Amino acid sequence: MPRMLPGSNTNIRHGGVLFHVQTEDSGKAHPHVITHLYHGGTILASEKSSYAEWVSAPDMAARVRELMDHMHRAMLKRLASGELDEQIEQRLGADVFSASDKSKTAANTQRSASGGSEQTLRPASAGTSASRAAAPAPASPAVTARTSAPAGTGPEQPLDELILDYLVEAARRRKRPAE
């Protein structure tokens, strides 16, 4: 198996708001897979699962890929089903979703770094049970951490804006006054 498997990235519109789901393998040195839900560079939710017991397995790469795919799909389903709505509203404000957007079905395109496939996702209907809405889990280690960033932590500014501000400031410092 290579040092680490390529991850998956998905932009998904939910309730009229664009979110990003990212799943990454940390490699054999740190054998865990982590999935983050982002909005504007801010992490809203995370899941982390260790695969330390698979490091010596001959089919480790296949197992890790299956775990990564499962975790990525699970985060997408949690978002699409509305399971994360309250948490999102706490972090981004109660008015983040408009009433008309909540009732719409969100169509979303998934582009995976490993396959480039496209997939349309729709939120589970109110009558769908959580067990039917979730995909069956592979024989994998339990999720070791599921977190949301606590209120008041992390950048208040989207990551791309923060990086741009840093680059502009660094360029200003390098500029020397003309003599």
- Beta strands across the sheet bearing 17-25: 109-112, 8-14, 17-25, 32-39, 42-50, 143-147
Residue in 64, 79, 80 with CA at minimum distance from that of residue 23: 64
pLDDT at 3: 72
Is residue 79 a contact partner of residue 12, using CB atoms and an 8 Å limit?
yes
pTM: 0.58
State the pLDDT confidence band at 1, using cuts at 50, 70 and 90: low
Residue-wise pLDDT tens digits, 95-151 = 888 743 544 433 343 444 444 333 334 444 333 333 333 444 444 444 444 544 444
